[in-house]
Structure 1
């Protein structure tokens, strides 16, 4: 991990208040996992696909195999830049046959969170298509919200937008709601870059605003999904990130399987763990 990435993940661990016990780590085949588990939580970006509809080798075959074995599959993703309907279209174009009820996004959790927060207006940072999550939660985009709330789904490059967000977050009782806590993300060529979680950390350091995280590794995305499946289900999270997929599964009390070589380089996994 990059030093800043590691620092962010340590903050996540502190916030989750997770204690780690010595656990057995082993290399497993998909067939072995299918024998042991019947509920599969799959990460999306970096695990199944990447930019420009790039599908990782073996990803389509993995999903098909799990379906053939009668397994329950849920796509648990920190995607919050486009509504599920658009995400489903992209998935179908790549050959994945997910149904709407099989996809759980961090952006969708904003509706549940706003039942507690009762936010009417917020300043928004992210792609325009991500505004759909605000609308679904009953929140209106405002350049000068009555209550100092900023909702973040993606990195923004425009200096004026960053400065405006910082100004709002410096107000008394300000809140930053992070729809995508991922601090780093992989590219197709194997390189990695800071994304929304790192940008959120920058804003927090600048302002000391209260921060609310939705999505992995935080518990709501797991607890809400587990609620909708039989309690007898034996669940496992499969993903490419130690700090979101594996950490989130650990906090939720379920097992996990890490895919190496994308967001977690093989040569650094022992040190990162």
Structure 2
């Protein structure tokens, strides 16, 4: 499975930990990968935690991670907004809202949407719809359908992005998985080519099929949000293992 692979692109939630508990053997495999000389990158669409919080959680579980190894969808979205000089109306969780300069609807010229949980109300989504209907671009922090928490599966931002796309007859620019631009950015940081990297994820659509679409070999793990029917969606270049702990088996 790892023949010719020089870099690992690892999803975090559902692959390295589930809820607040680490996946058994995952930390040891990451360390083994480093010992073998593999470059490691951590990719996440999570917007409910800051980058500092994500790194602190991983370090508390024994994962060695440096800031340049973490690629988050909020960071990619922030860079896009700065490059275009946009004034976004934001529907974001409190953990990352401070990273963005957000504007009231009457001043906004874009919509930025993430997994804001209770912030995804009818009122906020209706404001976003009106802006998109008037021509404002819709920027999505990831397109995940759902995620796994300690309480079980939870709706992610993807379904709400799809609703706005359909209602406003627009198409979101996805600054996170499964967007090609996000994967290409992560690959470029490794110094290798896409076919020399391996994506490992628990989300068949955002992690695995998204990576394959970007030309990156991918592995689906049977942890996190994995469902047995996910395996039927696998295309050429995709593999399945029980968990990250089995990557070198």
User: Normalized against structure 1, the TM-score is what?
Assistant: 0.76
Q: Helix, strand or coil for the counterpart of 2:205?
A: helix
Contact 2:73–2:176 (8 Å) recurs in 1: yes
**1:112 to partner: Cα distance:** 3.2
**1:217 to partner: Cα distance:** 1.1
Cα distance in 1, alignment partners of residues 106 and 95 from structure 2: 20
**1:145 to partner: Cα distance:** 4.6
Contact 1:106–1:214 (8 Å) recurs in 2: yes
Q: Please give the residue correspondences for 1:111-190 in structure 2 after superposition, counting only pairs within 5 Å.
A: 111-119=78-86, 121-134=87-100, 140-157=101-118, 158-170=121-133, 172-188=134-150
Q: Helix, strand or coil for the counterpart of 1:173?
A: coil
**1:82 to partner: Cα distance:** 3.2
Cα distance in 1, alignment partners of residues 61 and 112 from structure 2: 30
Q: Please give the residue correspondences for 1:1-273 in structure 2 after superposition, counting only pairs within 5 Å.
A: 33=2, 36-51=4-19, 53-119=20-86, 121-134=87-100, 140-157=101-118, 158-170=121-133, 172-188=134-150, 191-231=152-192, 234-266=196-228, 268-273=229-234
Cα distance in 2, alignment partners of residues 81 and 270 from structure 1: 28
Q: Helix, strand or coil for the counterpart of 1:228?
A: helix
Q: Helix, strand or coil for the counterpart of 1:124?
A: strand
- Residues 132, 251 of structure 1: CA spacing in aligned structure 2 closer, same or farther, 3 A cutoff? farther
Matched residues, number: 231
Q: Which runs of 5+ in 1 are unaligned?
A: 1-31, 135-139
Q: Helix, strand or coil for the counterpart of 2:24?
A: coil
User: Normalized against structure 2, the TM-score is what?
Assistant: 0.83
Higher normalized contact order (CA 8 Å, seq sep 6+, divided by chain length)? 2
